[in-house]
A = this chain, B = another copy of it.
Amino acid sequence: MAPHQVEEAEAVDAEKQPISRILFIVAMQTEALPLVEKFGLTEDSDSVFPKGVPWVRYHGTYKDLTIDLIRPGKDPNLGVDSVGTISASLITYASIQAFKPDLIINAGTAGGFKAKGASVGDVFLASEVAFHDRRIPIPVFDLYAVGLRPAFSSANLAKELKLKVGKLSTGDSLDMCPQDEASIIANDATVKDMEGAAVAYVADLFKVPVIFLKAVTDIIDGEKPTAEEFLQNLASVTAALELTSHQVVDFINGKSLSDL
């Protein structure tokens, strides 16, 4: 076989092997800790990451799976969770290098659009992801900026767990300016987060499959201000995220990528 045929054959084989190692990428401590507890993970005492980064790794074995859960940790200067696309990109990059995961799960909270069927507490499986705050009005650069990527196809997972499926749009602001809104509409998004498309970008460089579980903390096209609703619902919605993540991992256990 020619080299590209060997690579293709290996890729097909990998899709049929049982999934062995999962990498969770989770932006906030509040989102991460219920998952850490549910899967019985322990925090690394010696970081595998370079000195200086605030990134936190939890790991362990759950059923037949090795699980790493990485969160970007507290900003060294300000002490708040290092949310957003830059930290998410960096931890995805460093974690792929360190752990060679078979599958990445980016789990977290999101805003939802009721006009597209979202309610507070829903956990969406994203079908595709794109950015809504990167505008470069030059041909081809415009597509690069939007960065549309499909999530790893997981129709069986969605069907079995009766998950709502919708498109995810990512930007570095919690709020939404008119230009963001226009891009979110163009992206046909049901949920809006601050990390997904960045995780997808890095995962795509290394051809690591990624799925997105996004739990709705606030309704963007609703009455309440986003920041207030987000903070109010954060704790209760992370419980829904934990439940769904648990069901998803139970479904994945013993299966291959092509079974998803």
A interface vs B, CB < 8 Å?
50, 52-54, 75-80, 82-86, 89-90, 93-94, 97, 131, 133-138, 140-141, 143-145, 172-175, 177-179, 198, 201-202, 204-207, 227, 231
Interchain CA distance A135-B177 in the complex, whole Å: 10
Pairwise interchain contact A227-B78, C-beta atoms closer than 8 A: no
Pairwise interchain contact A172-B133, C-beta atoms closer than 8 A: yes
13 contacts between A and B (CB under 8 A): A50-B97, A75-B144, A79-B140, A80-B141, A84-B145, A86-B86, A86-B202, A133-B133, A135-B174, A135-B175, A145-B173, A177-B177, A179-B179
B contact residues around A143 at 8 Å (CB):
78
Interchain CA distance A175-B76 in the complex, whole Å: 31
Pairwise interchain contact A172-B145, C-beta atoms closer than 8 A: yes
Pairwise interchain contact A136-B174, C-beta atoms closer than 8 A: yes
Interchain CA distance A131-B89 in the complex, whole Å: 17
Pairwise interchain contact A137-B227, C-beta atoms closer than 8 A: yes
B contact residues around A85 at 8 Å (CB):
85-86
Pairwise interchain contact A144-B97, C-beta atoms closer than 8 A: no
